[in-house]
Copies of this chain bind each other. A is one copy, B any other.
C-alpha cells in the first residue's frame, strides 16, 4: 500500500446546479471530493468524509480512477448530503436553493491509523468543531490548510479561531475575510487574520485571482483566463486541493514552492470549471496541467 502524504477532510455531496446556460442534476460534489481529485494529479491522497447508503457506485468508481485512498470514508445509514444552487449571469454570485444535511448532520470524522502521521492536511469547509477534532487526531502535521465559510464565521467564530490558530494557512473568500475582520480592504483584513496565528492568509477572489499574505511577503496571483466557465462549483476546493497536492508531493514549504503550488492550484481549478462536476478532470492528465502552467506563467512574466 502506498504512503499517504495528504489527507483531506470535507463534505461529500450530491449537487444539482443551474447556470445561465445549463442545468445538471444529481452530480458528484462536495469540498472533499473536488479537493481530493485535484490533489490526486500531484500526490497520493486520502479522503475523510461521509456518504449515505444511497451513494451511487459510479461516483465511488470515479474516485478509484483517480486512486484516491478511501480508508477514511464512512458510510452511514441514510441519504447523502445534498446541495442545489443557481448561478447568476456573471457566474460569480450564486444562490443556494436547498441544502439537505442528511448523514452529514451527525458526521463524526474517524481517522484511520495509517493517516495519523500524515504530513499534509487540508481541513475543508465543515464545522470548525469537526476540523479541530480531525486536527487533534493527527500527530504534528507539517502543513495544515484550513478553509471556512461565512456561516462558521457568524455562528462559530470562537471555535473557528481556535482551529485557525493551530493551522499553517487559512484560506477564505475576499468577502469572508472582510466579514471576519470587519475591514474594508483585503490587505487590512489579511493583516488582522494573521494575528490569530497562522503563517499565511490565502484570500480567494474568484475570477480575479488570489492573494497570499504572510508576515514578510505578499504574493498576487491571477486566475487563469478561461474562455469557457461552465460551472464554478468547487473551484476553491480544486484550487486548495491542487495546491496541497503539489506541496505534499514536493514536500517543501519554502516561499518559492508555496508560490508555485498556488499557481498549480489555480491551473487545476481552471480545468475544473470548464465542465460540470468532475467531468473535465476525467479528460486531462498531469501533462495538460503542466502545459497550461507554462502558458500561464508567460502571462505574468516581466
A221 at the interface (CB under 8 A from B): yes
A301 to chain B, nearest CB (A): 8
Asked whether any CB of chain B lies closer than 8 Å to the CB of A188, the reply is yes
- What are 30 residue pairs bridging A and B, where the CB atoms are less than 8 Å apart in the complex? A89-B184, A90-B184, A185-B227, A185-B229, A186-B225, A187-B226, A187-B227, A188-B227, A205-B208, A208-B208, A208-B209, A209-B222, A211-B225, A217-B299, A218-B225, A218-B299, A219-B299, A219-B300, A220-B222, A220-B225, A220-B299, A220-B300, A221-B300, A222-B222, A256-B302, A259-B301, A260-B302, A263-B302, A297-B302, A300-B300
Which residues 164-192 in A have Cβ within 8 Å of B in the complex? 184-188
Which of A185, A186, A221 has the largest number of chain B CB atoms within 10 A? A185
How many copies of this kind of chain does the complex include?
Answer: 2
Report B-chain residues with C-beta under 8 Å of the C-beta of A209: 208, 222
Bound: A259/B208 CA distance, A: 19
A227 CB contacts on chain B under 8 angstroms? 185, 187-188
State how many residues of chain A have any CB contact under 8 Å with chain B. 31
Q: Report the Cα distance A80→B4, complex, angstroms.
A: 71
User: Could you give, for residues 81-103 of chain A, a 1 whenever the CB lies within 8 Å of some chain B CB and a 0 otherwise?
Assistant: 00000000110000000000000
Provide the bound-state CA to CA distance between A297 and B218, in Å: 11
Bound-state Cα–Cα, A184 to B297, Å: 24
CB contact list, A186-222 vs B, under 8 A: 186-188, 205, 208-209, 211, 217-222
Residues of B within 8 A of A185 (CB): 227, 229
Which 10 interchain pairs have the tightest Cβ spacing? A208-B208, A220-B222, A220-B299, A220-B300, A218-B299, A187-B227, A187-B225, A300-B300, A259-B302, A297-B302
Nearest opposing residue in chain B for A188, CB measure? B227
Q: Which residues of B contact A219 (CB under 8 A)?
A: 299-300
A135 to chain B, nearest CB (A): 30
Which residues of the other chain, B, contact A302 by a CB distance below 8 angstroms?
256, 259-260, 263, 297
Inter-chain contacts of A186 with B (CB < 8 A): 225
Cα A90 to Cα B183 in complex, Å, equals 11
Counting chain B CB atoms within 10 Å of each CB, the highest count among A186, A217, A226, A302 belongs to: A302
With A208-B208, A211-B225, A221-B300 known, 8 other A-B pairs at CB within 8 A are A185-B227, A185-B229, A205-B208, A217-B298, A218-B225, A220-B225, A220-B299, A263-B302
What is the CB-to-nearest-CB distance from A73 to chain B, in angstroms, rounded to a whole number?
A: 36
Q: Given the complex of chains A and B, what is the CA–CA distance between A89 and B260 in angstroms?
A: 35
